[in-house]
């Protein structure tokens, strides 16, 4: 089979529409998708702050105190809040998508989506609880 169609007279005169630079504003799910992709920047941001914190810790108590003071500036708090919201969006949207990628079969039957999503949230809660316990137990 030839893949090139043969037309006469006016062909090929196909019309090809260009994809607009603003395609991601065309509908809400495209926008949500691009926002979800953008969240990776904020995840990276938290990783960088964490590395920065480790460096301050290695440089001694004075540097660490300076680091903590810098974290408390209004500008940083604002940035932190925005970044936190994006990371939440990242976590929630990806958790909700896990059943699409993970199909678990028990005794030949597919485990319902809500169970898989629920297990993700449960693990999240347990881990967050563990971290909170470690941080707060000496207070």
Interface with another protein (CB under 8 A): 3-5, 9-11, 13-17, 19, 23-24, 26-27, 29-30, 33, 37, 97, 100-103, 105, 108-110
In 3-state terms, what secondary structure has residue 106? strand
Shortest distance, position 14 Cβ to another protein, whole Å: 3
Residues 6+ apart with CB under 8 A from 94: 36
Q: Which is nearer to another protein, 13 or 137 (CB)?
A: 13
Pick the closer one to another protein by CB: 13 or 139: 13
Nearer to another protein, 29 or 137 (CB): 29
Q: How many CB atoms lie within 10 A of CB 86?
A: 20
User: Measured from the CB of residue 94, what is the shortest distance to another protein in angstroms?
Assistant: 9
Q: Name the minimum Å distance from CB 87 to another protein.
A: 18
Smaller CB separation from another protein, 48 or 101:
101
**Nearest residue (CB) to another protein, 18 versus 139:** 18
Structure tokens belonging to residue 129: 């609880």
Q: Smallest distance from the beta carbon of 9 to another protein, in angstroms?
A: 8
> Distance of CA 35 to CAs 7, 30, 32, 72, 108, Å?
44, 9, 5, 27, 37
Kindly tell me the burial class for residue 42, based on how many C-beta atoms sit within 10 Å of its own C-beta (0-12, 13-18, 19 or more). Answer: buried
CA angle 135, 137, 139 (to 5 degrees): 90
Q: Residue 37 CB, nearest distance to another protein (Å)?
A: 7
């Amino acid at each position: 089979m030839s893949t090139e169609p043969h037309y006469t007279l006016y062909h090929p005169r196909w019309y090809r529409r260009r994809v607009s630079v603003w395609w991601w504003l065309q509908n809400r799910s495209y926008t949500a998708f691009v926002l979800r992709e953008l969240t990776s920047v904020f995840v990276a941001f938290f990783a960088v702050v964490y590395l920065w914190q480790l460096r301050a810790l290695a440089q001694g108590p004075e540097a660490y105190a300076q680091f903590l003071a810098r974290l408390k500036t209004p500008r940083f708090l604002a940035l932190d809040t925005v970044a936190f919201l994006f990371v939440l969006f990242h976590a929630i949207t990806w958790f909700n998508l896990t059943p699409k990628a993970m199909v678990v079969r028990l005794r030949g039957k597919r485990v319902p989506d809500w169970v898989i999503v629920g297990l993700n949230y449960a693990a999240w809660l347990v881990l967050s609880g563990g971290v909170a316990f470690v941080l707060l137990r000496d207070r």
